[in-house]
């Protein structure tokens, strides 16, 4: 058999399809493996380049295969899809991955494999996000059901406990309804308690991570955003510029230009939704503070011309570019020059609020 120069692997829960080519780009390997056969097969194979679609468990397989001496690249699915022939199946997907690996455009978009520590930190952030959603769902349910019985509480999570007290004292509410309110209140309190524990773990991660601490020095980045950036961005130097990094997060406008006419629409919302949300929320916090403090000339001029939410997206884009520079160069943020410089900056007060 000719020497294999690269192999595309289509992964799944239990079945793995392989497609390999030689120096002449001719297929020399088409094989289906069960999960328990994968490591044994690649352990006997001469070191080569292996391509895997960036998806669930792809980082695990990248680490395991790299440990066997192979070079593993992770390719975003959108750069594989154009090479899939008609009649999608596992073999066609593996062939498409193998073909996409050789294309210059796809090579610029390879995904860096994450370490187990980064994946653990991502799990911490994901668990916090899930609990926040759950707490919001339960609190909204309590407000909605309370309104059905004529009990309306003001906005804010601090009003949930007073609402529960009103429900307990209102004799016009049926006993069954009161029991259901107690069930919802139990879920709400449990989510709150778990969130406090996760917030403490997140703060401990932030304090122990040097990159996260440096990122938190940027005005629109707080500990949560800084920890998320440190956990989710494996190698900032994989991006050619801060502009590419902001586009990866989805903070750049959609381009639908033709016939020499430039048409820019809403932001693409591509990439990581959590990072995009945190950056925009941090930008909104800075804009809210601009009412009481003198903002930078750039932000002041932007707020004069644009609505606050549009200005927040623009500020989030700028913040993403600054964050990329700090991560890629390992420098510190210098507020005096509005640019990162090599100097010892004082640490900000550590708080989970994204305002600063």
- Nearest CA to 147 out of 176, 175, 177 is that of 177
**Per-residue confidence (pLDDT) for residue 169, from 0 to 100:** 92
Tokens of 141: 């349910």
> Is the CATH number 3.30.420.140 carried by domain 6-107?
yes
Q: For the chain, what is the mean pLDDT?
A: 91
Mean of pLDDT values over 107-113: 85
Q: What is the pLDDT of residues 148-164, one digit of tens each?
A: 999 999 999 999 999 99
Report which of 93, 105, 104 is spatially closest to residue 8, judged by C-alpha positions.
Answer: 93
Q: 298-302: list long-range contacts, CB under 8 Å, 24+ apart.
A: none
pTM for this model (two decimals)? 0.85
Q: Mean pLDDT throughout 72-89? A: 90
Strands 339-341 and 332-334: antiparallel
CA distance 318 to 302: 12
Kindly give, in sequence order, each residue whose CB lies less than 8 Å from that of residue 351, ignoring residues fewer than 6 positions away.
Answer: 222, 223
pLDDT tens-digit series, residues 317-334: 999 999 999 999 999 998
Q: How many angstroms separate the CA atoms of 9 and 96, rounded?
A: 10
Gap between the Cα atoms of 19 and 96, Å rounded: 9
Residues 6+ apart with CB under 8 A from 121: 205, 227, 230, 231
pLDDT band at 231 (very low <50, low <70, confident <90, very high): very high
Q: Where are the domains of the chain?
A: 6-107, 116-207, 209-341
Place of tokens 């005005």: 219
User: For residue 45, which of 71, 15, 73, 12 has the smallest C-alpha distance?
Assistant: 71
pLDDT tens sequence across 174-183: 999 999 999 9
DSSP state of 346: P
């Amino acid at each position: 058999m000719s020497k294999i120069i690269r192999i595309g692997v289509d992964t799944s829960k239990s079945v793995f399809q392989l497609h390999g080519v030689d120096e002449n780009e001719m297929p020399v390997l088409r094989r289906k493996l069960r999960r328990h056969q994968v490591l044994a097969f690649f352990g006997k194979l001469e070191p080569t380049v292996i391509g895997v679609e960036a998806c669930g468990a792809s980082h695990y397989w990248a680490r395991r295969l790299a440990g066997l001496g192979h070079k593993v690249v992770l390719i975003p699915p959108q750069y594989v899809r154009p090479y899939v022939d008609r009649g999608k199946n596992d073999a066609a997907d593996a062939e498409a991955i193998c073909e996409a690996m050789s294309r210059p455009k796809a090579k610029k978009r390879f995904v860096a494999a994450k370490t187990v520590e980064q994946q653990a930190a991502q799990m911490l952030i994901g668990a916090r996000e899930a609990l926040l959603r759950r707490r919001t769902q339960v609190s909204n349910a309590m407000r909605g059901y309370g309104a059905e019985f004529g009990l309306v509480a003001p906005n804010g999570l601090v009003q949930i406990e007073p609402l529960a007290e009103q429900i307990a004292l209102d004799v016009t509410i049926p006993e069954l309804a009161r029991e259901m309110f107690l069930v919802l209140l139990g879920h709400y309190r449990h989510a709150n308690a778990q969130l406090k524990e996760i917030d403490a773990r997140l703060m401990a991660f932030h304090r122990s991570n040097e990159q996260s601490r440096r990122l938190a020095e940027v005005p629109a980045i707080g500990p949560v955003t800084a920890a998320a950036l440190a956990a989710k961005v494996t190698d900032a130097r994989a991006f050619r510029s801060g502009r590419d990094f902001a586009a990866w997060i989805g903070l750049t406008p959609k381009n639908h230009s033709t016939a020499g006419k430039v048409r820019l629409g809403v932001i693409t919302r591509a990439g990581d939704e959590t990072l995009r949300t945190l950056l925009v929320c941090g930008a909104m916090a800075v804009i809210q503070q601009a009412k009481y403090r003198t903002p930078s000339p750039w932000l002041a001029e932007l707020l004069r011309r644009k609505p606050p939410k549009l200005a927040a997206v623009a500020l989030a884009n700028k913040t993403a570019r600054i964050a990329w520079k700090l991560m890629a160069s390992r420098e510190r943020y210098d507020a005096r020059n509005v640019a990162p410089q090599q100097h010892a900056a004082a640490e900000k007060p550590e708080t989970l609020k994204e305002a600063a």
